[in-house]
Every structure is written in structure tokens, then in C-alpha cells.
A and B are shown apart, each in its own frame.
Chain A
Amino acid sequence: MELKSIKDAFDRVANKQKLSYTKTQEIIQMLSQELDKALILLQEQFDHRPILASLKKTLQENSPIVNQLEVTEKELNMALTKYPKVLEKQLSSDISKAYRHNVEFDTHVVNQIIANFFYRQGMFDVGDCFLVETGDESECSTRESFFEMHRIVEAMEKRRELGPALNWATSNSEKLKQARSDLEMKLHSLRFLEIARDQTSQEAINYARKHMAGFADSSLYEIQKLICSLLWSRNLEHSPYSDLLAPSRWNDAVRELTRQYCNLLGESSESALSTTVSAGTQALPVLLKYMNVMVAASKKLDWQSVEQLPVAVELSEEFQFRSVFVCPVSKEQASDENPPMMMSCGHVLCKQTINKMSKNGARSSFKCPYCPTDVDISRCRQLHF
């Protein structure tokens, strides 16, 4: 992003402000000096009238400095007027142009989302304060659960303690298996390495027998690696297995734990608020551009009541949570009324398109728009993504 013109415009303002300050300072200085001078003269001379008259004259004739100040002020004012114009040119001056004003969010719901966000980020005092201030006290059901999660994560990150994490993982073992998560194994291998480092290899092997044998199905290779690493147990960093010591293994485990913990709570692993705001950040520029074009073409559009956005907003892939099928012929999005249908050749169109191609079933076959196949309508079938 080129911020240079903004920076330049601001530098101009700041410079002129400094200059104006110096000039004002000079004027005040000059006034003080003249007054001081006059006071000294008054002490020395008997008649004060000529002194005062000449002082008045000097002060009123001090035009050069006053003129300079005026010039500076003018330049400062120009700089002050210009900067907002530069901002408006370089940035989108009003992002609420893309806002539908007839849709009011329920403040209560928004506040719940915000409180939940603070708790999942581990900002418990901010969250508590927020609920007190909004008057929605004692209504965030997830606080306790997130508190527990942060206790577990903190133990791992700050003290390298695995106890709380292992406890949690063991008691949720079944659910983790269902979610195909290898979190338990990840934690056990970290523990195994600790034992191998601090205690004897025999104890490490005992630990592996007791806790890791059950994971042979899914993590055989990992187990082999861990057991082999015992050969270098006192010198692991210079062994082929030095990667077992990488701190990233701890970070991985923490990330997986957070993800599984949140999922079991019915929450996303990334904060849903942050995901939505990020999606908004990607969508807004497109919406604003569209609005500007519409305004420029002075077209009125029923922005407030549309059922579907009039312009395509392509979000990055990390926001792709659900399947969207767009009929390649009609460009319409599939829905329950207009489901995707696969033809005998494997190409997929929407039902309405197929109806049109077959003239509403008047013809029993038609040519696929993408290959030479003659499509038999009775053999088209609905797909479920």
C-alpha cells in the first residue's frame, strides 16, 4: 500500500504547525522585549508620554513579523484543508455506503458474541468487565469451559506441564478418537520424551507400553521413531531424531488441543467473530466498488431488499465452509428448488437448465453442452454435496 502521499501531506501539516508556533513565539518575545525596554526607560526618564507613544508606534508597526505569521497561518490552513482531501482520495471515505440500514442487529446477541470472544481469547477480566457494563451479567455459559481450556494451555506453554492436558485428553479419549484427532498420541509422545530425558530409558519404555501401545493402528511410525530415539537418549540433539525436540511440536500440540477443545464445545477453532470480520474485510472493498459504480451510473438499486448480493464476492479458500454449486450454463446457484443434476456423461448442471435443454421433457434426450454425449433425461440424477 502506497501511503507516501498521505505521509507527505501530514508532514506538511506538522511542519507548518511548527513554523506557526515559532512565529507566534517570536511575536510574544518581541512584545515582551518592547514592554521591558519601555519599563526601563520609564524608570530613567521623567516624562512618560513620549515613551508610551513610541511604544505604541513600535507595536503597531511590527508588521513584518505579523505579516510572516499571517503567511504561515495561511499555509497551515491550506495544509489542514488538504490532508483530509488526500485521505478521501487514497482511502474509502465512507465504508458505511455498503451497509444496509434497514437491518438492525440485536445488541444483546452482538454483546454475547463479543463476551464469548473475550473468554475464548483468555481475556477473562475484559470479558467480565464487559458483561457488567452491558448489564448482561452471568449469561455467558462458555466462560467456565474456556477458563479450563486456558488453564490447560497455560500449563503447557508457560510451565511445560502436560498433566492437565493429558487428564483432559484421557477423559475425552472416545470423542477425540471419533474426531480422528491424534492429540492424545501427541501429548503422550511429549511426555515420553520428557521421561527419556529426565529418567531412565527403561521408564520411558514402560510409559510407552502402558500409554502408547493402544495407538499402534494410527501412529505406528511415530511410535517406532520414539522408541528408536532412545538409542540416543542422552544426545538426542545430535541424532537423526533431533526433530523430536523441536519446540514446534509443543505448539502443534497446543493448537490441536485448542481446536479439539473448542470443537467439543461446539465452537470453531478460530474465533467465529474474527473469521466473520476477516470475511467482511475481504467483502467490503468489492461491495464498495459496486456501490460506487452504481452511484456513478446513477442507477437505483434495491439494496435493502435483495435476497442475494448483486455482485460476486470471492472469499479466500479459508472461508469456504460449505459446498456451493453454480450451474455452468445458467450461472445460478443451486438450491433445494433447483438442485444439481448429473448427466450420464458425468457433467453436472442444474435441474432448471436440464429442463430447458430438454424443452421441459418434450424431448427425451439432448446433447451435453460439454461433451458429445447424447443425454438421456431419465438417467439424470440429483446430487447431494
Chain B
Amino acid sequence: MEIDPVTNGNTDAVMTEPTPAISPSRPLVPSSRLSQLTESIKLEHQLLRVPFEHYKKTIRANHRSLEREVSSVVSSVGDLADNDWSKDVAVSRLTSLVSRLQGLKRKLEEGSNVENLQAQRCRARIDHLDSADVENITEWNNTKLKRILVDYMLRMSYFETASKLSESSNILDLVDIDIFREAKKVIDALKRREVASALAWCADNKTRLKKSKSKLEFQLRLQEFIELVRADSYKQAILYARKHLTPWGATHMNELQHVLATLAFKSTTECAKYKALFELQQWDVLVHQFKQEFCKLYGMTMEPLLNIYLQAGLTALKTPYSFEEGCTKEDPLSQESFRKLALPLPYSKQEHSKLVCYISKELMDTENPPQVLPNGYVYSTKALKEMADRNKGEIKCPRTGFVCNHTDLIKAYIS
């Protein structure tokens, strides 16, 4: 890893010698780097979890459908034996069962191929985590940033860029484009105010949703009911409610009553409590809720990874002085856009002083202690010595223009 990033980075009229690659004040501490690496790998839960949930889902679905088919073949044979069919019928039925079994065999084969591909993907991700070490960490972090960006784009439905970036960076195995495409179908349908695909998704994941006590399906049903009321199809609405809403009565009676009362109020109501139910924004709420359930089901974080990392990073970088000018351009917080994002965030807490020389941007420590000009401005010994050497012992404060002699400097002790 490179360890010379902070020097030389200002455009101000101040000067510095190029720093040697490894200055004595910055020792490489492999053990701390190593533990940092371990800690950062622990943040990758989503990377392993998501493809696994997908794999598990495929296994279960394949298994269920095969089981059904096999038992139906067995029971067909039972039927055949129990009924008194002619021989010809028996032969033709058996022959059709044989070809059905052949189809089943193919289906098993295909299913298993899909499963194996998904298993490979799970493994590729474990291997990717395993491949991170102190030597290749820069490259690994680059890949990580791209993964995080793809995750952001998928959640924002920027599919084209997500595919392009994953292909050009060769990280298709490390991102979940196909899984998000499944979500996109549902989201697009909800945006067109159609609940069918969302309901189908709920049915597909019934057990899991039930376990997490999700009420997404209930909310979709309520919305459908509201739409019937909006269209003045009251009779249909009542029939619909009998069929689809009553099962939720035991757990969600209040909401159920609230929504059913719209039959009395109609869609033109001015009563705020019921008017709200007819707002078209309710559909956006459904989209949001679907996204939440979707993320939960796959073990994803609710927010894009990018937002989580950016927030943590900006907070850690922010100091009470972050918005002052005159800082090195290397600080992300010297840029307008990053400042905007950081504005509402708290600044970091430090337990020890860390002083950076305004001139050389180098750390001021025992090797390069801070020195104070008579006007109270502090710079590093090295930078001041260099300035004095160049200007026959004269020191000019770059921030105030104050001029003094090299002998006027006092060393400051920072503990």
C-alpha cells in the first residue's frame, strides 16, 4: 500500500520538498493494517448473504415442484390400477407418464444447473473476501468501491449503468443485478398502479413474509379495495373485502375498519382521515414498503451501502474546522459537494492531538515538532527551516504576511 498520500497537495503559494516515500515518523504497522482489514471484511455480510438467499430460494422452489410431480405420477398409477380401464387406455396412460418422467428428468437437470451456477456465485464471493490481503488492498478497495456503486445504482434503478460498470470492471459475479431485476418488475408495475406482480411476489415468498410478520400483502389488498371504491364499484369492493381482507381481521382489525369505512365516505370525501387513503401517494408508499420487504428478505441493508459508507466516512473526516478555507485539496471536505453532504452530520471525536503543518501538510510530531511564530501561528520545524535557509533566516507567515527571524521561533510542546 502507498503511504505518501497527504503531501504536496496544495496549490497555494507555499512550498514543500517532495517527501520521501516513507518518512521515519510514519512507520508501517502491519498488525494494525491487518486488523483493519479483518474489521473491514466483517462489513461484507450482504455480499455473502444475498446470493445465498437466492440460492436457497431456488433450491426450495425446485424441490417443491419436483416433489409435487413425483407424487402426482405415483398417484396417477394408483388411479390407473384402482379403476377398471381397458388395456389400451392403460398402455397409453402409462406411456404418457413415461414421457412425463422424461420431462421431469430434464427439469431436474435444468434446475440443478441453475442451482450450481448460484452455488458458484456464492463461492466466488467467499473467495473474493478471502483474496483480500495487505498487499493487494488498494486494488481490492477499488473493486469494493465499484461494488458499492453498483449496489447504489441497482437500488436507484439505474440498471444500464450498473450493468455497464459491472461488465467493464469484471465484477458481475460480485453484484446482484438479476436479483434487483426481479424487484424492478414489481416496482414498475406498482408505479403503473398494478398490484398483480407484487401479490405474486408475496405468494412466492409466503412463508418468509409470514415469519417476519410482514403486512405487505394486506396493504396491497387494501389498496385494491380502495381502487374499487374509487371506481364506485361498491358491490365488488365488498365481495373483494370478504374474500381477501377478512383473513387479516384477527391481527389488523383497526386498519381493516378504517379502510372499510371508505364505503360510506366515498372517494370525494373531505374528511382528512379518509381522504388520505385516496391519495395517489399511497402507491409510492407501497413501492417503499415493497423495497423494504425485498431488502429484508435478501438480507440486504435498507439503505444503499454507498450512503452508509459515505455517512460514516464524512463524519469521521469532519472536524470543527472542516468548512474553513486554506486546507489541502486532498481533503474530500474541501469540495463543495462533499461539504453539502457533511453539513448535517456530527463531527468526529479525537482523543489525541494530530497536527498537520499548514505549509508542508506533514504531520507535526516529535520528529518534526511544531514551532510558534511570535504572532501565534504554528508551522512544522522542517518547513520553517527550509524557508529560513532559502531566505537568509527570514520567516514570513504565509497566512498573515508577518515577518520575523528564524531565531524568534519557540518550540511548542503538544502532549
Contacts and interface: CB of A to CB of B under 8 A. Distances in A.
A148 interface: no
A321 B327 contact: yes
Contacts of A27: 70
B49 A282 contact: no
A3 B141 contact: no
Interface string B308-340: 111111111101111000011111111101101
Contact of A268 (B73, B161, B331, B351): B331
A310 B320 CA distance: 15
A273 interface: yes
B349 A309 contact: yes
B287 interface: no
A151 interface: no
A114 B152 contact: yes
A130 B345 contact: no
Interface in B79-115: 80-82, 84, 87, 90-91, 94-95, 97-98, 101-102, 104-105, 108, 112, 115
Nearest to B66: A24
Interface residues of B, number: 143
A282 B63 contact: no
Contact of B376 (A17, A274, A281, A382): A382
A319 B317 contact: yes
B314 A276 contact: yes
Contacts of A126: 161, 164-165, 168
A321 B356 CA distance: 7
Given A59-B78, A109-B340, 19 more contacts: A1-B42, A1-B130, A17-B59, A25-B108, A28-B101, A39-B95, A53-B81, A76-B59, A178-B11, A266-B11, A276-B314, A279-B312, A284-B43, A309-B346, A310-B349, A317-B3, A322-B322, A323-B358, A345-B413
Query: Which residue among A49, A133, A335 has the maximum number of chain B CB atoms within 10 Å of its CB?
Result: A133
Contacts of A181: 8
A259 interface: yes
B158 A308 contact: no
B401 interface: no
A80 B208 CA distance: 14
Contacts of B153: 130
A6 interface: yes
Interface stretch (B32-40, B171-179, B263-271): B32-40
B350 A282 contact: no
A280 B347 contact: no
A270 interface: yes
Contacts of B141: 274, 277-278, 281
Interface in A92-134: 92-96, 98-101, 103, 105-107, 109-110, 112-114, 116-117, 123, 125-126, 129-130, 133-134
